[in-house]
Every structure is written in structure tokens, then in C-alpha cells.
Structure 1
Amino acid sequence: MRFSLVIPCYNEAANLPLLLERCKGVAGADTEVILVDNGSTDDSPQVLARLLPAYPGCRSVRVEQNQGYGFGILSGLRAARGEILGWTHADMQTDPQDALRGLELFASHGARSFVKGRRYGRPLSDVVFTLGMSVFETVLLGKPFWDINAQPTMFTREFFATWSNPPHDFSLDLYAYYEARRQGLAVHRFPVHFGDRAHGVSHWNVNWAAKRKFIKRTVDFSLQLRRNVKQ
């Protein structure tokens, strides 16, 4: 089956050459890579225009004004041509080529699968943060969740077509995972190494003030999901 990997890129001009080199090992006859220029204000459009012709199977989608991490991913998913869809990050903390191992799980377990990476190699403070969020979501929503923001995230086009009003921010990771649990998809995880960013800094995981903001947005969305469960 054809596979489309979406990678949202916001002000990642310095990372793009390295990212495309890694994507070269993913893109092929049955795989496309869609780099979403998610309203970047740096040189990303010019860098993509210069580099993409040398990378068959890679293309870009432009979001003119940044409307959130999730919005960029959704823009790429809607432009995708594959029967299997997925996304990962542009910062090289996880390798785009990890998605190839994810594809093997679809071959082994069938189309009613939801595939996610499971990160290792992270700082202890981040592991503790993830543990706390995972326990909170599991208790609140009554379904097992772990390492919700791990990448890649992969699923079928048929599953994507069932989504209703998905969020436009970082809550998209939780939404997709929750919908997979709610619809009874088989969740398959595989280990992915989580390293340092190649260039730049995280757009949210920079300090505890940013984490508190992230937590508030996530909790608000989780409570919304909880209300929907009870209706």
C-alpha cells in the first residue's frame, strides 16, 4: 500500500538539508514525504524551493499563516495520496526513517492498526513528565495511554476519514491516539531513539513555564474529550 509521511516544519530552515537527506531513504515508488511549511517566517520557503527538486518523492505544502502544529499536520494529511498516513517531527530528534519500521507492523498486523513510536534515550525529567501525563489521561479517559506525543504516528486513510473536528494544536497527538482506542484499533508500539535537536530549540519544551502552558491546553482538551464520552 502507498504510504504518505507528513512532516510539519515551522522555521526549520537550518534543519531542512539534513531532514531531506534522511527523507531520501523513505521516499520511493510507494512512499511520498510531504514537508508542510507551517507558516514559517524564516527562509524555509526558499530552502525548500532550492532543495526539493533533488529529492524525488518529496514535496511541500505551504500554510500561509501558522495556525498550530495540528493544523499543519492536518493540511499535509488532506493533501496526502497514500492509503497509509502518518506524521513525524522535523527537528530530527526522531528519525523519519523510523516510519519504515512502522510500516512493517501494518504488514504484520493488518490495516486496523494504529502505530506509534515509543521513545527512549530521553532526559529523566522528560520521562517523569510523560509518565505523569500518561497516568492522568489513562485515569481521566478510562483507556490506556503512554508516551502520547511519541513519533511517528501512523494509521490508515479510512481511519483518518472518521475524524471529526480534530484540534489544531499539540492535542492532535492525543486526539488521534484516543480515537484509535475508542474505535477499537489494535495499537502497536515500537522503540525509537529520541536524540537532541539538530538545530534550534523546541517550540514548546523550553522551560517549565512553557510546559505549564502545554499542560493547561492538554488538560482543557482532555476534559472536552471526557465530556464527549459522557454524552
Structure 2
Amino acid sequence: MNLSLIIPCYNEVENLPLLLERCSTLSDKSDIEVILVDNGSTDNSPEVLEKLLPRYPHCRAVRVPVNQGYGFGILSGLNAAKGDVLAWTHADMQADPKDVLRAFEFFKLHGNHIYVKGQRIKRPLVDVFFTASMSVFETCLLQTKLWDINAQPNMFSKEFFESWRNPPHDFSLDLYVYFKARTQGLPVYRFPVEFGERAHGVSHWNVNWASKMKFIRRTIDFSFELKKRLSK
């Protein structure tokens, strides 16, 4: 059983050395490959990756020439992956890439036909309220129990990935995959993960309440699209 971890990176040049060093524990394992997706970065991420990657034999990069969304970058990495178990997490160092080691244990115990997702703990109260509100809304609208939808990492089989049809190219990808796992009847396993502070840079969506509202509107729009798909 081999694992491919996808990490989309958009203008994360300052975090790349830290991220690769954090991934060194993973790259020492012959059954894990790490794919950093340069998701249309406009900084000098390509040059930094070219310089650093030779030090990490089981890490490689996929380049998206023009940014087309968070989800598009993840999908580009998943399409390039060689593993029979696939996962993704964030590049901002808030999520520890080594969390996938705990997630991978569920597959070793229960086989490939499961879905594994982190569940965030020790978060600010405002973020907990935001997450709870969105979780209740999605659960009621889609009539499927969904909680902490944007938690990382996400892990699933390549067979499950190949069943996706028209997945979204933005942050709604988290919702789409979680919902699809539920509706396909995959056993869902959750485990606690701590999200830290960003090492460098700022969030590309969680900057202020205006960006949160934009994220909410786009997620709600996609949620109603999912609802329409169910009715067909």
C-alpha cells in the first residue's frame, strides 16, 4: 500500500524550506511520495523548488502555470499521483504534514474502502463558531451529517478519487469530497489535529470578515448545486 500526499502551494516561497524539512520524515519512507503543487505562484517558488527538491528524494513538484483555484491545484496533484491511497493537506504550516502518518494507519487497519479526515481542536472561539455554523447549514441542506468540513488532512483511495465527476476547482472541493464519501457509504474515520499559526505570509481566504463572507457565499452556491445534483 503506497501513499501520495498532495500539498498545493500558492505564493508560499517563504514556507517551502520549512515545509520540505517537515516532510523529510515522510520522504524517508519508501511507501510515501510527497507532491508539492506550485499552483500558479507569482513569486519565485519554481526556482526555490528546483533548488531544494534534490535534497528530498521522495518529494517532487507539479507546476500549474496559471492559478485556477485551490481545488484545481489539488486535482492536478491527484492526477499526477502514483499511490493507491491519496491525501492532501495545506502548505501554510498550520497543518502538520506528519498528520498523514496517523491517517495512514486507519488504511492499514481497515483497508482502502474508507475515508479519513482530521478534526481540528484547540481553535479560537470565533473559528469554532464559524465552523459549527457552516456544518449545521450543510448538514441540514444536504441531509447528510457533515462536521468541520475544511479540516485537514483528507485521505482516500485512488478508486474513490476516480469516481468523482465535475469536482469544484475552489475551496468547495473539501465539501464535495467529504459529501461524496458520505453518500457512497464509505466509513469515515476522524482523528484530532491541532492547527498552529502560519509560519509566514497570510491566508488566501481567511484574511478578514469580507473574505470570510466571500468564502461563505461561494460555498453556499456550490452547496445548492450539490443539492440539485441529488434531485436528478
Give TM-score, length-normalised by structure 1.
Answer: 0.99
Per the TM alignment, residue 230 of structure 1 is displaced from its structure 2 partner at its CA by 1.3
Partner in structure 1 of residue 10 of structure 2: 10
Partner in structure 1 of residue 182 of structure 2: 181
Asked if 2 retains the 8 angstrom alpha-carbon contact of 1:35 and 1:60, the reply is yes
Partner in structure 2 of residue 227 of structure 1: 228
Partner in structure 2 of residue 79 of structure 1: 80
Partner in structure 1 of residue 22 of structure 2: 22
| TM-superposition CA deviations, 1:64-119 (whole Å, max 9, x none) | 00000000000000000000001000001010000000000111222111000001
| TM-superposition CA deviations, 1:124-167 (whole Å, max 9, x none) | 10010000000000000001000000000000000000000000
Q: Distance in 2 between matches of 1:65 and 1:196?
A: 27
1:38-57 alignment to 2 at 5 Å? Answer: 38-57=39-58
Partner in structure 2 of residue 69 of structure 1: 70
Asked if 2 retains the 8 angstrom alpha-carbon contact of 1:134 and 1:148, the reply is yes
Amino acid at match of 1:103: F
Amino acid at match of 2:43: D
SS at match of 1:25: helix
- Structure 1 unaligned segments of length 5 or more: list them: none
Per the TM alignment, residue 122 of structure 1 is displaced from its structure 2 partner at its CA by 1.4
Q: Distance in 1 between matches of 2:193 and 2:21?
A: 19
Partner in structure 2 of residue 210 of structure 1: 211
Say yes or no: does 1:139 pair with 2:117. no
Partner in structure 1 of residue 113 of structure 2: 112
Per the TM alignment, residue 18 of structure 1 is displaced from its structure 2 partner at its CA by 0.4
Amino acid at match of 2:60: R
Partner in structure 2 of residue 60 of structure 1: 61
Amino acid at match of 2:225: Q
Amino acid at match of 2:5: L
Give the aligned length: 231
Amino acid at match of 2:57: P
Partner in structure 1 of residue 96 of structure 2: 95
Asked if 2 retains the 8 angstrom alpha-carbon contact of 1:121 and 1:195, the reply is no
- Structure 2 unaligned segments of length 5 or more: list them: none
Partner in structure 2 of residue 129 of structure 1: 130
| TM-superposition CA deviations, 1:36-59 (whole Å, max 9, x none) | 000000111111001000011000
| TM-superposition CA deviations, 1:164-204 (whole Å, max 9, x none) | 00000000000000110010000000011111001000000
Amino acid at match of 1:123: P
SS at match of 1:100: helix
Give TM-score, length-normalised by structure 2.
Answer: 0.99
Moved over 2 A (4+): none
Amino acid at match of 2:78: L
Amino acid at match of 2:56: Y
| TM-superposition CA deviations, 1:201-226 (whole Å, max 9, x none) | 00000100000000000000000001
SS at match of 1:26: helix
